[in-house]
Amino acid sequence: MSFVEFILSRKVEVLSATLQHIRLTGISVALAVGAGVPVGVMLTRFPWLARWVLGVAGVIQTIPSLALLGFLLPLPLIGGIGTTPAVVALFLYSLLAIIRNTYTGIRQVDPAIKEAARGMGMTDMQVLRMVELPLSLPMIMAGIRISAVVCVGIATLCAAIGAGGLGQFIFRGISMVNNAMILAGAVPAAVLALCLDFLLGRAEKHFGPPTRGAGI
Amino acid sequence: MIELRNLTKTFPGGVRALRDVSFSVGRGEFVVLIGLSGCGKTTALKTINRLVKPDSGTIAIDDVRSAEWDEISLRRNIGYVIQDVGLLPHLTVAQNVAIVPRLRGWKGDRIKEKVERMLAMVNLDPATFGDRYPHELSGGQQQRIGVARALAGDPEIVLMDEPFGALDPITREELQDEFLKLQQQIHKTIVFVTHDIFEAVKMGNRIAVMKDGVVEQIDTVEGIIENPASEFVRSFLGRHRDYLARFAEEMASQKAQP
């Protein structure tokens, strides 16, 4: 049975696994944005913290994904099997790129612009909201894109701890030596990653600052 | 009126930017701070809108000590123009000019009308330029916006930190002339930093010559040229003293008197 035939014969199953996959990735990345952007902003205010926080986030990144899922198994509340530990793991993997890009993005905003903004009487919050965040948005969005794409990949492994998603086909396919089944998980995951990257790129253009170089 | 008294400031790292700076600026007066780079002129300027906090000494504005002002509302009442312009690149020209009025909580119609008036005042057609982004403008046009933005909140005081320093000579002269003409109408209290003695003589009512964190001499333009108080001030005037004297005389009629 070819891969296309396989997908067509199990389209409901593939579709629900895809939706599960999107849900896992979506929740994790959304949580990582919610935590990572404020942390990144905080690091620009307390730069001495940056080395430590980015260091810890970097170390998490080096833990092999399967091992991290394994570490989470015995933990209460956030661990065990199912959706919760999967989201926790994906969240942790997403953090680094988002924190780092927020931090670097804001640090790269031209100091002259920030000083002009402060000189005009903006409060620290206003400088952040009206100057720093809009000007570092492309960088922050790039971080979110990286995280989202990485998450789609790692989320396939979460099937190993019973969180569902497209990884189910891959694991089952491997154990049954069924290539069509492996592809039924892998191909939609790859397409999903590409789509997410494309959509986030569009969003970035839509909400971002006007591109330079149009005029003089 | 602005009064700076015995200001000192040492930056982390040990650079003593201000050793003992005192001078005052009368209402409607145009005072130029001049000196070599690193002499503390920009630091002195920034103590006025409290972007720099002095280690000791006091600043008073209209006899109220600046430390008693709320820092944010103080800055909203002081125009600020810098060499790098500092326009927000993600906002249009009109939105940039509207920043301080918006921060001050003005209503939409009043802001719109003000922005149009400000752009016309710096000789930019609001209909043509209002919706453009800063990167679409030339350096001279950007600094015109910088001036319009600084004046949009109706400040009494305007601080200008080498505002025309990055422009080509022709544009610089154009903007200097326009600003002098403008000042004759608006009579703001202006503190202006430059390292160019010609600009200082051209623009100012009074000149304060700074060296190593100290004001070496503060006097009228004529006073500085005729009676330089030290060798340093004399060297600043250089070989052009006679020319500067004539230039000062020529410019005197074009300046607003405080």
Could A120 and B51 be called an inter-chain contact, meaning their C-beta atoms sit closer than 8 Å? no
Pick from B153, B158, B159, B125: which is nearest to B41 by CA? Answer: B159
Chain A residues lying within 8 Å of B77, measured CB to CB: 121
> Which among B86, B100, B132 is the nearest to A112, CB-wise?
B86
Pick from B176, B167, B156: which is nearest to B85 by CA? Answer: B167
Chain B residues lying within 8 Å of A204, measured CB to CB: none
The model's pLDDT over B123-141, given as tens digits with 9 standing for 90+, comes to 999 999 999 999 999 999 9
What sign does the dihedral B138-B141-B143-B146 (CA atoms) show?
negative
What type of residue is B188? K
> Which among A113, A123, A134 is the nearest to B86, CB-wise?
A113
Chain B residues lying within 8 Å of A120, measured CB to CB: 75-76, 80, 99-100, 103, 149, 153
Distances in whole angstroms, Cα of residue A97 to Cα of each of A33, A102, A199, A203, B175: 10, 8, 18, 18, 46
The pLDDT, as a whole number, for residue A213 is: 40
For B51-72, what is the mean pLDDT? 90
Q: Give the minimum alpha-carbon distance from B88 to chain A in angstroms, rounded to a whole number.
A: 7
Are B226 and B237 in contact, with CB atoms under 8 Å apart?
A: no
Chain A residues lying within 8 Å of B149, measured CB to CB: 120
Q: What's the pTM?
A: 0.85
For B146-153, what is the mean pLDDT? 94
d(CA B38, CA A64): 53
- β-sheet bridge partners, residue B33: B193, B208
Pick from A100, A97, A78, A99: which is nearest to A89 by CA? Answer: A78
pLDDT at B214 over 90: yes
Best residue of B69, B76, B93, B99 to probe chain A, by most A CBs closer than 10 Å? B99
The residues of A whose Cβ lies within 8 A of any Cβ of B are 110, 112-113, 115-123, 126, 130-131, 134-135, 209-210, 212-216
d(CA B42, CA B33): 8
What would the two tokens of residue B237 be?
């005037």
Could B75 and A120 be called an inter-chain contact, meaning their C-beta atoms sit closer than 8 Å? yes
Q: Give the minimum alpha-carbon distance from A103 to chain B in angstroms, rounded to a whole number.
A: 19
H or E, element range at A86: helix A83-107
pLDDT band of B242, cuts 50, 70, 90: confident
Could B137 and A122 be called an inter-chain contact, meaning their C-beta atoms sit closer than 8 Å? no
H or E, element range at B32: strand B30-34
What would the two tokens of residue A167 be?
């990884």
Looking at chain A, the whole-number percentage of residues with pLDDT higher than 70 is 95
> Which among B74, B90, B103 is the nearest to A135, CB-wise?
B90
d(CA B240, CA B21): 27
- Taking 50 as the pLDDT cut, the residues of chain A under it are 213-216
> Which among B77, B84, B90 is the nearest to A134, CB-wise?
B90
Could B137 and A126 be called an inter-chain contact, meaning their C-beta atoms sit closer than 8 Å? no
Distances in whole angstroms, Cα of residue A26 to Cα of each of A113, A140, A155, B97: 35, 17, 11, 40
The pLDDT, as a whole number, for residue A216 is: 34
H or E, element range at B17: strand B16-25
Q: If 0-12 CB within 10 Å is exposed, 13-18 middle and 19+ buried, where does residue A62 land?
A: exposed
Q: Give the angle A147-A153-A157 at the CA atoms, nearest 5°.
A: 120
The model's pLDDT over B163-194, given as tens digits with 9 standing for 90+, comes to 999 899 999 999 999 999 999 999 999 999 99
Are A61 and A96 in contact, with CB atoms under 8 Å apart?
A: yes
The model's pLDDT over A134-184, given as tens digits with 9 standing for 90+, comes to 999 989 999 999 999 999 999 999 998 988 899 999 999 999 999 999 999
Could A120 and B136 be called an inter-chain contact, meaning their C-beta atoms sit closer than 8 Å? no
The model's pLDDT over B19-47, given as tens digits with 9 standing for 90+, comes to 999 999 999 999 999 999 889 999 999 99
